[in-house]
Amino acid sequence: MFEKFTSLPPDPILGLLASYRVDENPNKIDLGVGVYKDESGHTPVLQAVKEAETRLLQSEETKSYIGPAGTPGFNSAMQELALGEGHPALIANRVRSVQTPGGCGALRVLAELVNRARPGARVWVSDPTWANHVPLLGNAGLKIETYPYYDRATSSLRFDEMVETLKNVGEGDLVLLHACCHNPCGADLSREQWKVIVEMAQKQGFTPFIDMAYQGFGDSLSDDAWGLRLMAESVPEMLLAVSCSKNFGLYRERVGMALAIYNDAASADNGQSQLLNVVRGNYSMPPSHGAAIVESILTDAGLRANWEAELTEMRERINSLRTGVVESLAAAGAPGDFSFIQRQKGMFSFLGISAEQVQQLQKEYSIYMVDSSRISIAGLSQGNMEYFCKAVAAVL
């Protein structure tokens, strides 16, 4: 059966991680893996998560299945976190959601839902986009197209070109948008630019498909969801994939939500029956533990306040690192203008150097990043900032 298989190349980031682990240089820096790290280079368990987990372990009385949709409490709390309390789509009973195994699970089941409604539908993704968008959506049967988004030469958005391309996108197509903290470039749409895309969706009839993996890592929980909330108010149908990996620090627990907004309540009930059937044919039931933690945090005033404070601390640390990179590169004499790093949001930015210079950083300085020069800002610290910036200045 398997004799015709050939070996596939390893995932670039996982391959980097393997090389990093065996590197004996005490000054080595991993800027490839997309997880939050504290000043010591550790990915911590949030205190609010620990407290919620302790309560859960003391109160949980069964390990029975929770059903394909997950728990009603989780779905309700996550809907309000994403859309905001009292959102018109929620009031109109047009929103349905299911708990999923991470944001990846959300993307995949929504893609399969779309493929049931319109087999082989086209989904337009930004150039660049998160690499895993392509297999998650494409392997579900959707056809991938791209629209211009980021100019690596100028480290800025190609918004006019984006708009010109999306003018050709009509009813039956989907447009994938990053809600905030764009992965991999960190350059987000402004509010005025969001308004333009919303008007295009209204006029042309394409379906927005929004991925929100970093709510709270950009400006705030509400500001980071501003664009998707406006879109959800303005169009008859919308899809949203949400991840709890970053803002709750629940990477290995695999917690996410797939949300769909429909034209009316009857269509929402029909669509939910289809989505539950997609889930049943994939993984049958979602895992419970991580989602129960999220539900506890979002429905307890004290836990939620503690979580929001910790999230603010993570966000402010990332933003301070962005400022530090810009200042330290200038102090190290690196040629060029890196101020764009300070203007961008979230964990990622393109450094804007060549693949050859990326390899030189790895070989000579044990600094690891993918060949595109995308770096995870959270992999830096006050302790390694000077070493990193001097190394970049040297290869430039």
Q: Are 190 and 323 in a shared domain?
A: no
Are residues 241 and 295 part of one domain? yes
Contact (Cβ atoms closer than 8 angstroms) between residue 291 and residue 71? yes
Whether the bond between 101 and the residue before it is cis, its omega within 30 degrees of 0, is no
Q: Are residues 294 and 324 in the same domain?
A: no
pLDDT of residue 33: 84
Task: In whole angstroms, give the CA distance from residue 263 to residue 237.
Answer: 6
On average, the pLDDT of the chain sits at 96
What CATH number corresponds to the domain at position 83?
3.40.640.10
State the pLDDT confidence band at 115, using cuts at 50, 70 and 90: very high
Query: Can you tell me the distance from the alpha carbon of 208 to that of 232, in angstroms, rounded to the nearest whole number?
Result: 9
Residue where a domain stops, chosen among 273, 299, 325: 299
Range of the domain at 290: 65-299
Counting the structural domains of the chain, the total is 2
If pLDDT is split at 50, 70 and 90, which confidence band does 14 have? confident
Query: What are the helix (H) ranges across 256-375?
Result: 265-282, 289-299, 301-331, 340-343, 355-365
Catalytic residue among 130, 194, 226, 307: 130
Q: Is 120 left (phi over 0), alpha (psi -120 to 50) or beta?
A: left
Asked if 345 and 389 sit in the same domain, the reply is yes
Q: Identify the burial level of 171 via C-beta atoms within 10 angstroms of its C-beta, where 0-12 means exposed, 13-18 middle and 19 or more buried.
A: exposed
- Name the pLDDT band for 94 (thresholds 50, 70, 90): very high
Give the residue from 299, 332, 347 where a domain finishes.
Answer: 299
Amino acid at 343: R
The pLDDT score that the predictor gives to residue 264 is 97
Q: Which residues touch 2 (CB under 8 Å, ≥6 apart)? A: none
pLDDT at 18 exceeding the cut of 90: no
Last residue of a domain, one of 247, 265, 299: 299
Residue 146 inside a domain? The answer is yes
Band the pLDDT of 17: cuts 50, 70, 90. confident
Asked if residue 234 and residue 144 are part of one domain, the reply reads: yes
- Per-residue pLDDT of 314-359, as tens digits, reads 999 999 999 999 999 999 999 999 999 999 999 999 999 999 999 9
Decide if 264 is catalytic: no
Candidates 30, 173, 246, 307; catalytic one: 246
Distance CA 387, CA 29 (A): 9
Whether 348 and 377 have beta carbons less than 8 Å apart is answered as: yes
Same domain, yes or no: 18 and 104: no
Asked whether the predicted pLDDT for residue 154 surpasses 90, the reply is yes
Q: Compute the average pLDDT of residues 283-291.
A: 97
Judge whether 52 lies within some domain. no
- Judge if 150 and 40 occupy the same domain: no
**Across 233-262, average pLDDT:** 98
The reported pLDDT for the residue numbered 8 is 86
Residue 306 lies in a domain: no
Please indicate, yes or no, whether residues 246 and 281 belong to a single structural domain of this protein. Answer: yes
| Run of H or E residues at 367 | strand 367-368
Is residue 12 over pLDDT 90? no
Region 105-109: what's the mean pLDDT?
98
Same domain for 149 and 108: yes
Sequence-distant (6+) residues with CB within 8 A of 208 are: 174, 175, 177, 197, 201, 228, 231, 235, 238, 239
Catalytic residue status for 124: no
- CATH number at 356 reads 3.90.1150.10
Catalytic residue, from 30, 173, 188, 211: name it: 211
Per the annotation, the verdict on 203 as an active-site residue is: no
Residue 297's pLDDT band (boundaries 50, 70, 90)? very high
Task: Assess if residue 53 is contained within a domain.
Answer: no
